[in-house]
Structures are given as C-alpha cells and as structure tokens.
Amino acid sequence: MLPEPDELLAAAHVVRLPLVTRFRGVTEREALLLHGPSGWGEFSPFLEYGDEEASAWLAAAIEAAWGDPIASSRAEVPVNATLPTVPVEQIAAVLERFGEVRTVKVKVADAAESLAHDVARVREVRRILGPAGRIRVDANGGWSVDAAERAAHALAGFDLEYLEQPCASIDELAELRERLHDWQLPIAADESVRKADDPLAVARAGAADLVVVKVQPLGGVARALRIVAEAGLPAIVSSAIDTSVGLAMGARLAAALPELDYDCGLGTAALLAADVTGEPLTPVDGRIPVRPVEPDAALLRAHAAPPERVAWWHDRLRRALGVLRVSR
C-alpha cells in the first residue's frame, strides 16, 4: 500500500543546497525530504528526468520512510572520492574535502573537453594518491567504442581499477569488453543498470564485469539487492549527489550486500557546501557509518527552496506517485 499524497507531504521539506564545484552542469542540488514512521527518505531525481523515471526514486524514498528495516552486515562502508571535471590546479583542494581515501573516481569524457584533459586529471590524481591508490574513471556513456579504446590506451600507465560506463549502449560495452579482453581492465555498468528498462540485460549480455547500483534510481534497497543477486556480478553502491538523508539510504544498501569488495561512491557529501544535518555523512578515514540521519530543523529552514520550487516538487511527487500506483 502506498501512502496518499497528503500523507507523504505532511512533513515534507524541499531544500536547495549549494555545491562546492559545478557538477553535472549545476551548482545547486534540490531535494524533497519525506518523513514517515520509519524515518527520513529522499526524493531527488535530477530535474530533467521524466515522471516515469522519477517514480522509482519516489519508491525508494517511501521505502526508507515507511518501509520495514533491512538486515545489515556491516556498521560502516568504505567510500571513494568523486572528482568532477575541474581544472588540474583545483584537484588537490577538491580531494582534500574527502579526507584520507584510498580510491578516487575521476569524471571523464566531458563534451567540452579532450582526452588530454582527462589524462592530465588522472595523472594528477595518481600523483596525489601514490602508487597504492585506486583510480577508476567514469565516462557516463560519453565515449564511442573507438574513443573508449583510445582512452584505455592513453590511461593504461595509471593502473586503473575499472572503466565505469565508458559507452552508452550494451552492445557497445560488449564490443569494448571484447577488445579489452586481454587487458584485465574491468568494465562497470551504471546507466545500463539504473536507466534501463531491464537492469539485468547488461549482465545477461556479458557486457560488464561489475554493476553500479544506486538506491533511488533502482526503486529502493530491496529491489537493488534483488538486481545484484540476479546479476551475479560484484556491485559498487553509488549516489547521485544526495543529501546525507539519501546517502544514508545508499549506506543501508551497501551494508546489506553479502559481499562488498569495492569502495562505494557514497562520500559525495564532501561535494556539498551545506547539508541538512549538523552531522553529515562525510568520509572519515575513507568510510561513512551506517546510521539514520535526522535533519536539523534550523538547517531545513536555512536551505528551504523558494515557494515556487516547493510547489514544483510537490506537483512532481504527485505525478510520480500516480505513475507508481499504475505500475503496481
């Protein structure tokens, strides 16, 4: 049973949080936070997403705030730093916000930049981390197969952990994986899981070595756990520049996985210039705790979105809830 819209919105807050650097083309992050009998949930699909895609994000928020507890296997989760496409001279300052981490995910394949920019960023991250650090790159599907192969060659000297979503389609991922067969360079699928009608298609096609799972886009912890189990591939839990409420949802997923061999992309509170809690889930010694997050009333007021944005998010929730009701 899904709550009624008035119940969902009775204690809801819409916030707008500043970022420390531009990410995905924005400098602020908006989110709608829900409070229910089980705690807090976050509904924050990106602004350009349609109602059908947003409905999965709402299902995750409802599960967090109204659902039953999910068994946990660990009390803390290892996390990586996430590096946006910033100039090389800003890299050290951005990474400092994450504290001591052993893994950095470097965003690459920005349409406004060249492969040389990506190589320069990865080179600087390797310098900062040293030889024992782990570097993964995330192209968000921005390369063709040929471009991804060229990038793999250009980045070969930096001992990458894996390539995340180097190409957009499953067929392209499969072709690239075949070309890189002897490289021992794994391919991780993100968009091919969370934005796909069939999140298991990439695993069935043998197009990836790892799957990246995110609680909100996949509709909640329970569904994400089923997808990981059926995919039969190692999983990395990641976030979508969530508030600490959303990161707590991701941490619950990571804590519930039977195996967690890779650092998770749940350290992104470090990219927020402000949060909704006085105790944000920022990394400490490369880890975040698995715990509920209680927003601070003063911070909710301080970062409340303007009235017209509140109305926009309330309307969006009602539309997404309508889609969710039909789908169930």
146 labeled binding residue: no
Report the side by side order of strands in the sheet with 39-43.
13-23, 26-36, 39-43
Residue the block writes with tokens 């890189």: 180
Query: Tokens for 232?
Result: 């039969």
Catalytic-role residue among 29, 214, 252, 303: 214
Helix 244-256 to helix 221-231 angle (10° resolution) is 40
Distance of CA 106 to the CA centre of its chain: 13
Q: Report the residue count for the chain.
A: 328
What does the longest C-alpha to C-alpha distance in the chain come to?
Answer: 56
Task: Please name the residues in contact with 295: beta carbons below 8 A apart, sequence gap of 6 or more.
Answer: 13, 33, 40, 245, 276, 277
138 labeled binding residue: yes
Separation of alpha carbons 176 and 181, rounded Å: 8
105 belongs to the catalytic site: no
Backbone angles phi, psi at 34, to 5 degrees: -110, 145
Backbone angles phi, psi at 9, to 5 degrees: -95, -5
Strands 26-36 and 13-23: antiparallel
Catalytic-role residue among 35, 105, 107, 177: 107
Cα angle 134-135-137, degrees, rounded to a multiple of 5: 155
107 belongs to the catalytic site: yes
**Helical H runs in the chain?**
5-9, 51-66, 91-96, 115-129, 145-154, 170-179, 191-194, 201-204, 215-218, 221-231, 244-256, 297-302, 307-327
What residues form the annotated binding site for Mg(2+)?
Answer: 138, 164, 190
Annotated active-site positions, please? 107, 214
